[in-house]
Amino acid sequence: MYQVKSVDKLIGELNKLPGIGEKTAERLSFFILKNSRENVERLADSLREVKEKVRFCSVCGNITEDDPCRICKDETRDRATICVVEHPQDLFLLERVRQYRGLYHVLGGAISPLKGVGPEDVNIGSLLKRVKQGKVTEIILATDPNTEGEATAIYISKLISPHKVKVTRLAYGLPVGGDLEFADEVTLGEALKGRRDISS
Amino acid sequence: MYQVKSVDKLIGELNKLPGIGEKTAERLSFFILKNSRENVERLADSLREVKEKVRFCSVCGNITEDDPCRICKDETRDRATICVVEHPQDLFLLERVRQYRGLYHVLGGAISPLKGVGPEDVNIGSLLKRVKQGKVTEIILATDPNTEGEATAIYISKLISPHKVKVTRLAYGLPVGGDLEFADEVTLGEALKGRRDISS
């Protein structure tokens, strides 16, 4: 490496981040070396701060600085609908659509026997508790549209079925703005199955 | 953004790094949120440490924790030859070739009138001082093989010409228009071997 201990250490630490290879870690380190001390302090501080301040909402499992989180506390939202997502990122993505006004539940992952993630490793228990309180009328399952997300959705829907709550799943279909040509067969099959009447 | 203050702040800080766009900054932030506190502390500490400990060698301008640097202190190296590079990265790249046994001089950049970088903004004065001490017999100019690096090489060779020192330039085995940083070691070795006299 660079035989300057603290530089090599920084390169090593940056190299541990996802998508940051050794070359990128080196480039970032030299950028940091050139950067002002204040800027680097600010970055180091914000790394620490995020670990100190951010916790998971005790109600929905979303990341937050205050517990419960902003969305769970928001009295203007539809408290009868819960949208279930795998990760906090998914929640924020849905929020950007500005269409959904209900509450959320963040699982923190999907059930995956292959990866050794069982139902007890994701926040399903707390979801069931929310359902049992009796105020929820619809659960929207917005887990990822892949094998694990699908398996998680089926598992949750079966678990909730005795509770007389409507359980829905995000629609499968063609991505808007894409080409039919690039759609895979499974997606196309789902789009056909889920076709909607537009004649009226 | 994510409306979690410290998370948004971290995304903003990471976004300032070169080659880290908003999407990557978000991905890194969520990785950091999931990562253990110890790992994140270690990253934050190494950021601080690098700014605290790393300084420039008072002789050659290389990055170092001790002054003078490891190479300048190394009595086994050929003290009659100085290889002039733009950045510390370039020095380490040349070291990896394991062919050059002389000393270095790190300019800290190249002369670029377009970017407002004049001869006084790079470490040329200290190079001249080293030449004037009379122990140097050859200066190898290993600035980048682009317009600015070439201009810097010519400027330095003219400045040194009264001092009866052989001035050589890395051979154009390097791809023209590129950056030294991206050269492979074999090409770099060839370029070292084929260096040409430009002192006349």
Distance CA A12, CA A22 (A): 8
Query: Which neighbouring-strand residues pair with B85?
Result: B106
Longest CA–CA span in chain B (Å) reads: 65
CA B3 to chain centre: 40
pLDDT (tens digit per residue) in A128-152? 999 999 899 999 999 998 999 999 9
- H or E segment to which residue B196 belongs: strand B196-197
Residue A98, chain B, CB below 8 Å: the answer is no
Q: What DSSP state is assigned to residue A166?
A: E
CB within 8 Å: B40 and A48 = yes
Q: What is the DSSP letter of A161?
A: G
Nearest to B154 by CA among B93, B196, B182: B196
The whole-angstrom separation of Cα A103 and Cα A121 is 22
Give contacts of A51 with chain B, Cβ < 8 Å: 32-33, 37, 40-41
- Are B54 and A6 in contact (CB < 8 Å)? yes
Q: Find the closest chain B residue to A17 by CA distance.
A: B28
Which residue of chain A comes nearest to B66, CA vs CA?
A: A4
Number of alpha carbons in the 13 Å side-chain half-sphere of residue B146? 14
pLDDT values of chain A reduced to their tens digit, one per residue, 200 residues? 678 899 999 999 999 999 999 999 999 999 999 899 999 999 999 999 999 999 999 999 999 999 999 999 999 999 999 999 999 989 988 888 888 999 999 999 999 999 999 999 999 999 999 999 989 999 999 999 899 999 999 999 999 999 989 999 988 888 888 788 888 888 888 888 888 777 76
- DSSP string computed for B33-94: HHS-HHHHHHHHHHHHHHHHH-EE-TTT--EESSSS-HHHH-TTSEEEEEEEESSHHHHHHH
B60 CA to chain A: closest CA distance, Å? 15
**Cβ–Cβ below 8 Å for B7 and A47:** no
Q: Enumerate residues 6+ apart whose C-beta is below 8 A from A64.
A: A54, A55, A56, A57, A70, B4
Nearest to A65 by CA among B9, B4, B85, B134: B4
What number of residues does chain B have? Answer: 200
* Closest CA–CA distance from residue A6 to any residue of chain B (Å): 5
Of B2, B41, B51, the CB nearest to A48: B41
Domain with CATH 3.40.1360.10 in chain A: 63-197
Are B60 and B68 in contact by the 8 Å Cβ rule? The answer is yes
Residue in A172, A137, A136 with CA at minimum distance from that of residue A153: A172
- Give the pLDDT of chain B (200 residues) as one tens digit per residue: 678 899 999 999 999 999 999 999 999 999 999 899 999 999 999 999 999 999 999 999 999 999 999 999 999 999 999 999 999 999 988 998 889 999 999 999 999 989 999 999 999 999 999 999 989 999 999 999 888 998 999 999 999 999 989 999 887 767 777 787 888 887 788 778 777 777 76
Provide the pLDDT for residue B200.
62
pTM of the complete model beyond 0.80: no
Q: Does B3 touch chain A (CB under 8 A)?
A: yes
DSSP B134: S
pLDDT of B183 reads 80
Which residues 6+ apart lie within 8 Å of B174 measured at CB? B145, B180, B183, B187, B188, B191
Angle between helix B5-15 and helix B22-34 axes, rounded to 10 deg: 130
> Per CATH, which fold does A63-197 belong to?
Dna Topoisomerase Vi A Subunit; Chain: A, domain 2 (3.40.1360)
pLDDT for B168 equals 92
**Chain A residues touching residue B66 (CB < 8 angstroms):** none
Which residue among B4, B12, B39 places its CB closest to the CB of A54?
B4
CB contact under 8 A, A6 and B46: yes
User: What's the rounded Cα separation, in Å, for the pair B157 and B165?
Assistant: 9
For the four alpha carbons of B13, B17, B21 and B26, in that order, the dihedral sign comes to negative
Of the partner residues B13, B26, B92, the one whose CB lies closest to the CB of residue A42? B13
Is the Cβ–Cβ distance between B127 and B141 less than 8 Å? no
CB of A24 within 8 Å of any CB in chain B? yes
Q: Which of A4, A17, A65 sits opposite B64 (nearest CB)?
A: A4
Q: Which CATH architecture has domain B5-53?
A: Orthogonal Bundle (1.10)
Place of tokens 């001035």: B167
Could you tell me if the ipTM is greater than 0.85? no
Q: Which amino acid is at B79?
A: R
Backbone angles phi, psi at B167, to 5 degrees: -115, 120
CB-based contact, B30 to chain A, within 8 Å: yes
Q: Where in chain B is the domain with CATH 1.10.8.420?
A: 5-53
The residues that bridge with B83 in the sheet, in sequence order, are B104, B140
Residue holding tokens 């678990």? Answer: A159
AA letter at A39: N
- Across the interface, which of B4, B6, B47 has its CB nearest the CB of A43? B47
β pairing state of B138-141 and B78-85: parallel
Contacting A residues, span 175-194, partner chain B, CB-CB under 8 Å: none
A9 touches chain B (CB under 8 A): yes
Q: With a CB-CB cutoff of 8 Å, which residues 150-179 of chain A face chain B?
A: none
Q: Tell me the chain A residues in contact with residue B96 when contact means C-beta distances shorter than 8 Å.
A: none
CB contact under 8 A, B13 and A89: no
* Degrees to nearest 5, angle at CA B75 with B70 and B79: 95
In chain B, residues with a C-beta closer than 8 Å to the C-beta of A28 are 17-20
- Counted across chains A and B, CB pairs separated by less than 8 A come out at 140
Q: Are A15 and A21 in contact (CB under 8 A)?
A: yes
Look at residue B112 and give its three-state secondary structure: strand
Block residue for tokens 């993630």: A117
Give B45→chain A minimum CA distance, Å: 7
Residue indicated by tokens 């940056």: A14
How deeply is B45 buried, as exposed, middle or buried, from its count of CB atoms within 10 A (0-12, 13-18, 19+)?
Answer: middle
Interface contact flag, B43 A13, Cβ < 8 Å:
yes
